[in-house]
Chain A
Amino acid sequence: MSELINQTIARRRQVIDTFKQELIRRLNLAYVPEDLHEDVSLLGSGLGLDSLDALEIVLCVETCFKIKIPDESISVLRSINTVVDFVIEQQDAKGGRA
């Protein structure tokens, strides 16, 4: 694979791994990171997290990546992948990785 693709994958994998590990720890989920598909729904169906858990996710992102999820951005919390997209987008906007 090209170096650019490798870098893209490595960066995304790092954000995913960090987020999953912290999510499992904070919410005491009975899974290992490999069990959590990145597209699994966080709220409602899927992991079935509630509004209190949603707050934990917001704090999780803040702690791990020093990035705030605004109150009105509930759409970010649709899945692990949408959270990761938001983190990478915010890191790019800040001009680098946190």
Chain B
Amino acid sequence: MRVSPLKEKLAAAGAVFRERHGVGVVSHFGNLRAECGAVRDAAALADFSFARVFTLPETPGIDLLDALVAGNVPKIRFGRVLHTFLADKNGLLAADCFVANNDQEFVFICESILPDAELDALLAFGGKESPAKDLTASHAVLSLDGFKSWEVVKKIFGADIIGLPYLSIENYQFAGGPVRFIRAGKTSEFGYLLIAPVKIAAQLFDALKAGVEEHGGRLVGADAHDALRVEGRFFNIFREGERVRDPLPLGLQWMIDLEKETFSGSAALKERRAAGLKQKIIGLAADANCAALQSGAQIFHEGRAVGEVVTGCVSFVLNQPLALGLLPLELAFSGLQFRVGAPGGPVARSISMPPIMPKSLAVKLDEM
């Protein structure tokens, strides 16, 4: 099993680990409510070293990556980041990806549901002549998220960080080492990914941890991020992505450049798109004490099984369970009532997503 270079440090801080697709990840630090709250109200630090990270020189990286991912790599402007996905030859999801155009190189970050060897085979970057460098073992990836997370990074890296637009990359120095710094985030609050060589990663981790704690935040695990992604309606490859696999019912068409001729899995995807959608996912909410809104639960409408829950969480902002359900197109609308688990089971209502107003959306960093 691949483990984080920060594993010992995380364990010492109380992390509870689990295995996900051959990779050890931090599940939580013992208090899911506090971890979710830290992101919504303050700042939170998570180890994202489960992600695969590669760099490729601008040439031939631009063509290699464009032949793989669904988005359009040549259209990525210097300093900007493309959020897209990697599909297998059947057009089924393999990884949720960021592709960053960063000063003579492309940085390629994959949250993958394939074991490392299978992802390597799909990417086909391998071989002695490969121009790609796999940074996964030599670097740590840290995710800093939260309403006040910009204050933490501003103190460490300087005020110009505030001017970075969403989905952009910049290079910084920390303790004599390089840090690739991406403004991204999948919680709907401010978010940053920091990619640092192992030799400075522990020191960077300590500095960021001290920063989030100064702002009332804490360390968080993957369970909190899973819940926050549902609440903020950010795609989660490890939940609904893994369960559904087909990007089209998941509503990921925005990640695809439909005018691009080929990419991994494009033929199968285009065929399914031409045939038309039959199902899609929609948000669901239930009463506070409802425990039925769990992944895999059947969804009923007028006594008939019509779909299933593909991911669920408890929203600590709304104090109620939320979920995404896969439903036939004719029923995939907000404002309807369903039953979960059995024809007479608890009520779930279809809702418009995202159901919360993140605090960060009301803050204009570029005007501060």
Contact = CB atoms under 8 A, between A and B. Distances in A.
A47 B259 contact: no
B258 A75 contact: no
B233 interface: yes
B302 interface: yes
B234, B330, B353 pick with most chain A CB within 10 angstroms: B353
Interface of B: 83, 166-167, 186, 233-234, 250-251, 253-254, 257-259, 273, 276-277, 280, 282-283, 301-302, 330-331, 333-336, 352-354, 357, 361-362
A79 B254 contact: no
A9 B354 contact: no
Contact of B233 (A2, A13, A47, A79): A79
Q: Shortest 4 CB-CB distances between A and B: which pairs?
A: A37-B251, A81-B352, A39-B353, A35-B253
Interface in A1-50: 1-2, 5, 8-9, 12-13, 30-31, 34-41, 44-48
Contact of B333 (A2, A13, A44): A13
A51 to B, nearest CB: 9
Interface residues of A, number: 30
Contacts of B331: 9
Given A5-B336, A31-B258, A45 B251 contact: no
A79 B352 contact: yes
Interface in A52-98: 74-75, 78-79, 81-82, 84-85
B258 A30 contact: yes
B330 A39 contact: no
Nearest to B282: A39
A85 B352 contact: yes
Contacts of A79: 233, 352-354
A1 B251 CA distance: 25
Contacts of B253: 31, 35-37
Given A35-B253, A41-B233, A30 B354 contact: no
What secondary structure prevails in chain B residues at the interface with A? loop
A36 B335 CA distance: 19
A30 B259 contact: yes
Given A34-B276, A46-B254, A48-B167, A9 B233 contact: no
B352 A82 contact: yes
Given A74-B362, A79-B352, A45 B234 contact: yes
A81 B258 contact: no
B273 to A, nearest CB: 8
B230 to A, nearest CB: 11
A75 B342 CA distance: 35
B333 A39 contact: no
A22 to B, nearest CB: 18
A95 to B, nearest CB: 19
Given A30-B258, A75-B361, A85 B251 contact: no
A47 B254 contact: yes
B244 to A, nearest CB: 13
B167, B283, B301, B335 pick with most chain A CB within 10 angstroms: B335
Contact of A1 (B283, B302, B334): B302
Contacts of A37: 250-251, 253-254, 280
Nearest to B248: A35
B358 to A, nearest CB: 9
Nearest to A41: B233
Nearest to A44: B166
A5 B337 CA distance: 9
A12 B352 CA distance: 12
